[in-house]
Structure 1
Amino acid sequence: MEDSLQILTNASGRQMSLGDADAIKLVTVLDDPPLALATAGAYLSQVPTSLSDYLRHYEASWLKLQKTAPELTEYEDRMLYSTWQISYDHVQRQNKASAKLLQLWAYLDSQDVWLELLQHTEQDDPEWIREITEDELSFNAVVRVLCDHGLVEVDQSPVEQVESRGYSMHGCVHAWTMHVLNQKWDGGLARLALKFVGSHAPKRDKEKWWATQRRLLQHANRCSSMILKGSVAKEGMEGKIHMLGYLYADQDKLEEAEKMYERALVGYEKASGPDHTSTLNTMNNLGLLYADQGKLDGAEKMYKRALVGYEEGMGTRPYINTHHGQQLRPTL
């Protein structure tokens, strides 16, 4: 009990003691998991509300969760999700952009989201994402709101840092953003996440490209999972999917690269035709990948298709592969 009260004291900045009936009741209700206590404390540090009022909000959130997510049968899950919902509701009132970023995070990996990853916006993207990624000051201000509520924290990964330092969230919080906060799938946010990850995949001419690729890999895994499940619309995203294949190939994850290249190829053929440069580039990269996997028949088929396409479309035979810098060959 004393340890739990100390967690609340540290997180909230308020003195909690065994003589405080409301504090004892709150600790008892939250059943002593440190994560729930820390989240409640972070909320109390931001909002001038009494412990009794927080308990009232918690009970209301619990009842709402029973109706909206009846599949949550574990008591601890309901308890944690209720505390996060209270914090999210306050974040939404305080800074709508912070709340939207938390929703977007569900379609990325839980770990290491950084500014430059999201700086691939276009004019038709939502205004909130364009505003928060305008510069580091704007981005950090929005994320700080989430940090203050105990929902995310500065990433402490021991990987080599390229670009700015990122932010991470606990896996349990991420599960809540996926299954409760985004209970209704948002196809627009899913496509936005895929666009950011695919656009940020570096080629080998970028400084420290290998470090950026390693940093990006976990987000690529999240996006490829959505693609393979058919839960993100792929039309118009062929280039981003192709770049996921490129990233996987460079990271020697050949099976994952194959799946992305194959889906990009289907999309390019449908959208641009079999003789478009993008289609032929993907055929060539897929052929090289098949060769690396020992799938020689498949590799030869891709090489021949790409070669014929270039000869018919450009009237020239040689073609230099954009991925490995090797010359396309019709036979192995």
Structure 2
Amino acid sequence: MPLALVQAAAYIRERAPRCSVQQYLKAYRQSDSRATSLLNQEAGHLRRDASASNSVLITWQISFDHIRRTRQSAAGLLSLMSFFDRQGIQEALLRRQSSTADDGFEDDVLALRDYSFVTVTRDASTFEMHSLVQLATRTWLENEGQLDRWRAQFISNLCAELPTGEHENREKCQALFPHAQAALVQRPKDRESLEEWALLLYKAAWYAWQQGRAGEAEEMAVMSMSVRSEVLGEDDAETLSSMGMVGLARELGGKYEEAEAINRQTLARREKVLGPEHPNTLASMSNLASVLNSQGKHEEAEAMNRQTLARCEKVLGPEHPDTLGSMSNLASVLNSQGKHEEAEAMNRQTLARCEKVLGPEHPDTLGSMSNLASVLNSQGKHEEAEAMNRQTLARCEKVLGHEHPKTLTSVHCLAHLLAKQRRIDESLRLYRRASAGYNTTLGKDHPTTIACDQHYAALCTSQEQHRLVCSSSTLDSDARTSMRKRSRQSRELADVTIRSLKHQRR
């Protein structure tokens, strides 16, 4: 209801003195049937408070009709804005076609602000809307047969602004990701828009994967793959890119068998379409090797990693990020097989190159640090392993956040290291944090979550048993002391009694 009052007041204020409260109420009553018609078109959350939403729709209808009559371009701007997430609508998303000061955009924004359809945030470059205003606008567009046109424009604008999911784009991706989430349920109809929609979802899935959000990454990647397969064909390079993203998302989500299957399929198609030494083919080889290692298929993983690394060094060069990724993967599988010295040497080499090429705070550099700390721990080099683990954890928290899977991996590894050193209190605290984080981020059924919970439970059980043994030992010691004391007191009493008896006999 407050929104309806705000819109009504804005309408009256804008048209005063030619519009009074009485005149507005008359128009309100006349518009009731139109608003009810709109309302009946929309199921769901609008009907949770029918009176309030009906009032909003009526006031929206009155103001929107006036804007359409007096400033058609402002009505178009509102139509476009209705598809975005209601917050953080950047100006660049709305005026891509023109950046001139006299294109009428500012006047359109002013008109929408005057009627309380939109508000401007403090930084003056982003806009916000009420969700009911957006819903009413989209419903009107659907009734008028204009929904597809404005949805296509929304997808085109957002796709052009959203970058790929590389780490260096994370801030822009973070700001635009809520709009990509809104786009997920806005599947267009025409071929051109479908291609843009699939690209948009692919880029959003890439960002979600980088952020450790496996469920969202998989959902978007699967949708992108499905559309591209339908529109472009199963063997199209872009379809294969979406397939590769599905594999990455499923591995992140702990669905290793599904990830292996789609990675094998992607690799086979890329070898056929692109050739065995194409960078995308090499990426598929690396992805497959990684998921094989995750399943304990170490020999096959090692063989594929060595083949991938050799091709990457030949095709891309020794310092290309993909080459460094292959080195890191190979070092990881070597560590899993107990080949610690070779794994340590390769991890040190990878880390040095990552710091040089990518920088000390890049996620791939942090992954190399974590891998090196792990192999040091495996060799019993606990002091160096602890120092590197703590440094990695601090950087992960700064760059990725406290709940990112890579951050939680650092927490988990440090907890494991401290437990081996019998520094139980801090280890338990870190295990508790890692377990809670994994359960929230990856889910209780993820293999990593299960492993962490098992380690945590085992340490808790060990400590409880130790406490009981100590308690039992303390009780036994106290009992023995008490028995010795009572025995000594009995002997002393007996001696006194004997002496007394002897004295009496004399």
Say whether the fold is shared (TM-score over 0.5): yes
Q: What are the Cα deviations for residues 114-150 of structure 1, in whole angstroms up to 9, with x where unaligned?
A: 2212355xxxxxxxxx4xx444664333211100111
User: Which is higher, the Rg of structure 1 or of structure 2?
Assistant: 2
SS in 2 for 1:284: helix
1:119-198 pair list within 5 angstroms:
119=95, 130=97, 133-135=98-100, 138=103, 139-156=105-122, 165-180=125-140, 182-183=142-143, 186-198=147-159
Matched-pair identity in %: 23
Name 1:9's counterpart in structure 2: none
After TM superposition, the structure 1 stretch with the greater mean CA deviation from structure 2, 146-155 or 176-185, is 176-185
Name 2:194's counterpart in structure 1: 235
Alpha-carbon distance in structure 1 between the residues aligned to 2:204 and 2:165 = 14
Deviation at 1:219, TM superposition (A): 1.1
Deviation at 1:200, TM superposition (A): 2.1
Equivalent position amino acid for 1:194 in 2: I
Alpha-carbon distance in structure 1 between the residues aligned to 2:108 and 2:274 = 49
Distance 1:63 1:75, change over 3 A: same
Contact residue 285 and residue 321 of structure 1 kept, 8 A: no
Distance 1:67 1:263, change over 3 A: closer
Q: Does 1:306 align with 2:266?
A: yes
1:71-110 pair list within 5 angstroms:
74-110=50-86
Name 1:215's counterpart in structure 2: 175
Distance 1:287 1:67, change over 3 A: closer
Q: Does 1:287 align with 2:253?
A: no
Distance 1:42 1:252, change over 3 A: same
Alpha-carbon distance in structure 2 between the residues aligned to 1:277 and 1:101 = 36
Contact residue 106 and residue 182 of structure 1 kept, 8 A: no
Distance 1:44 1:119, change over 3 A: closer
Contact residue 180 and residue 200 of structure 2 kept, 8 A: no
Contact residue 151 and residue 169 of structure 1 kept, 8 A: yes
Distance 1:243 1:86, change over 3 A: same
Contact residue 87 and residue 129 of structure 2 kept, 8 A: yes
Q: 1:246 aligns with which of 203, 206, 216?
A: 206
Alpha-carbon distance in structure 1 between the residues aligned to 2:109 and 2:167 = 28
Deviation at 1:166, TM superposition (A): 0.8
Q: What are the Cα deviations for residues 135-171 of structure 1, in whole angstroms up to 9, with x where unaligned?
A: 4664333211100111111025xxxx7xx71111123
SS in 2 for 1:111: coil
Number of residue-to-residue matches in the alignment: 278
After TM superposition, the structure 1 stretch with the greater mean CA deviation from structure 2, 212-221 or 190-199, is 190-199
After TM superposition, the structure 1 stretch with the greater mean CA deviation from structure 2, 167-176 or 141-150, is 167-176
Contact residue 198 and residue 239 of structure 1 kept, 8 A: yes
Distance 1:304 1:95, change over 3 A: same
TM-score by length of 2: 0.49
Q: What are the Cα deviations for residues 265-323 of structure 1, in whole angstroms up to 9, with x where unaligned?
A: 1222233333322122222222222211122222222222222222222332453489x
Equivalent position amino acid for 1:246 in 2: W
Greater RCO, CA 8 A, separation 6+: 1
Q: Does 1:256 align with 2:216?
A: yes
Q: 2:231 aligns with which of 262, 271, 277?
A: 271
Q: 1:45 aligns with which of 13, 22, 26?
A: 13
Q: 1:225 aligns with which of 185, 196, 205?
A: 185
Higher helix share: 2
Distance 1:40 1:309, change over 3 A: same
Equivalent position amino acid for 2:11 in 1: Y
SS in 2 for 1:287: helix
Equivalent position amino acid for 2:67 in 1: V
Deviation at 1:56, TM superposition (A): 2.2
Equivalent position amino acid for 1:219 in 2: H
Distance 1:232 1:257, change over 3 A: farther
Contact residue 283 and residue 306 of structure 1 kept, 8 A: yes
Alpha-carbon distance in structure 1 between the residues aligned to 2:121 and 2:81 = 14
Distance 1:325 1:303, change over 3 A: closer
Alpha-carbon distance in structure 2 between the residues aligned to 1:67 and 1:266 = 36
Equivalent position amino acid for 1:316 in 2: P
Distance 1:95 1:282, change over 3 A: same
Contact residue 310 and residue 317 of structure 1 kept, 8 A: no
Alpha-carbon distance in structure 1 between the residues aligned to 2:234 and 2:284 = 22
The list of structure 1 runs, each at least 4 consecutive aligned residues, that deviate by more than 4 angstroms after superposition, is 70-73, 180-185, 204-207, 231-234
SS in 2 for 1:236: helix
Backbone CA RMSD of aligned residues: 3.1
Contact residue 190 and residue 232 of structure 1 kept, 8 A: no
Name 1:35's counterpart in structure 2: 3
Alpha-carbon distance in structure 2 between the residues aligned to 1:283 and 1:265 = 6
Name 2:350's counterpart in structure 1: none
Alpha-carbon distance in structure 1 between the residues aligned to 2:117 and 2:101 = 20
Deviation at 1:224, TM superposition (A): 1.0
Equivalent position amino acid for 1:290 in 2: R
Alpha-carbon distance in structure 2 between the residues aligned to 1:80 and 1:94 = 21
Alpha-carbon distance in structure 1 between the residues aligned to 2:139 and 2:39 = 9
